[in-house]
Amino acid sequence: MRVLLVEDDRMIAEGVRKGLRGEGWAVDWVGDGAAALDALALVGESHSYDLMLLDLGLPKRDGLEVLRALRGKGNGIPVLILTARDSVADRVKGLDAGADDYLVKPFDLDELGARMRALLRRRAGRSAALIQHGPITLDPATHEVKLSGVPVALSAREFALLEALLARPGAVLSKAQLEEKMYGWGEEIGSNTVEVYIHALRKKLGPELIRNVRGLGYTLAKDL
């Protein structure tokens, strides 16, 4: 899953980015409100964000301006506000401007991760914490994957790839779409990494799980 982190405090940004990358998130970081809107404007066929973490006190355009601008354009990306402003009035303003949730600084990275997962569940219309597809169960919180009830060990990248496919069960995802769920800006991507990870997933979860759609990309088998 790919997240846009908008935060001008370098220490906080580095901490959040490191923590989330360790959890398998692809994280793009920008340090001001104008850059946030630029990053969101780049979104297209093979580049999209699953979630945005938004600081309120930002250079150029503040967090509320960013939020109002993107909601005004009909952009429904889940937004979690990270703020040092903890007055009730500020929280109400943020939520009324279109935020989905907020966390007051200083926050705990585990709580941040749990709230992010809750937002993604809500967006996907799921209430259950586990994602299921045929014999496969994936737990976004613990990163545990099971095949017919038996735990299967996956690397962080393999997990990210499987999670991206499970998030859109009927869809065909291109190599570029899968890559952008696995790598944030500045992370090195090898030339055939998606193929390598698909191969590994098929080995661990069965050859029938992921199908090639020639010239288009990959999709999950429906009838498992």
8 binding Ca ion? (CB under 5 A):
yes
**Minimum distance from CB of 100 to Ca ion (Å)?**
19
Point out which span in 50-58, 68-76, 114-122, 154-162 binds Ca ion (CB under 5 A): 50-58
Beta bridge partners of 5: 29, 53
Q: For residues 8 and 33, what is the distance between their CA atoms, to the nearest angstrom? A: 9
Point out which span in 56-64, 100-108, 188-196, 209-217 binds Ca ion (CB under 5 A): 56-64
50 binding Ca ion? (CB under 5 A):
no
Residue 45 CA from chain centroid, whole number: 16
**Minimum distance from CB of 70 to Ca ion (Å)?**
18
- Closest CB to Ca ion among 69 and 221? 69
**Minimum distance from CB of 57 to Ca ion (Å)?**
4
- Closest CB to Ca ion among 8 and 90? 8
135 binding Ca ion? (CB under 5 A):
no
Long-range contacts of 213-218 (CB under 8 A, 24+ apart): 213/172, 216/172, 216/174, 217/172, 217/173, 217/174, 217/175, 217/177, 217/178, 218/165, 218/172, 218/173, 218/175, 218/178, 218/194
Point out which span in 4-12, 43-51, 125-133, 156-164 binds Ca ion (CB under 5 A): 4-12
- Give the CA radius of gyration of the chain: 18
Strands (E), 13-118: 26-30, 51-55, 79-83, 101-104
With CB under 5 A as the rule, give the number of residues binding Ca ion: 3
- Closest CB to Ca ion among 58 and 145? 58
Q: For residues 128 and 125, what is the distance between their CA atoms, to the nearest angstrom? A: 9
Q: Which residue is nearest to Ca ion (CB)?
A: 57
- Closest CB to Ca ion among 104 and 176? 104
Task: Decide if 74 contacts 94 (C-beta within 8 A).
Answer: no
- Closest CB to Ca ion among 105 and 222? 105
- Closest CB to Ca ion among 57 and 113? 57
Token pair 């009838």 is at which residue? 223
Determine which residue in the list 23, 55, 158, 163 makes contact with Ca ion, applying CB under 5 A.
55
Can you give the binding site for Ca ion, defined by CB under 5 A? 8, 55, 57
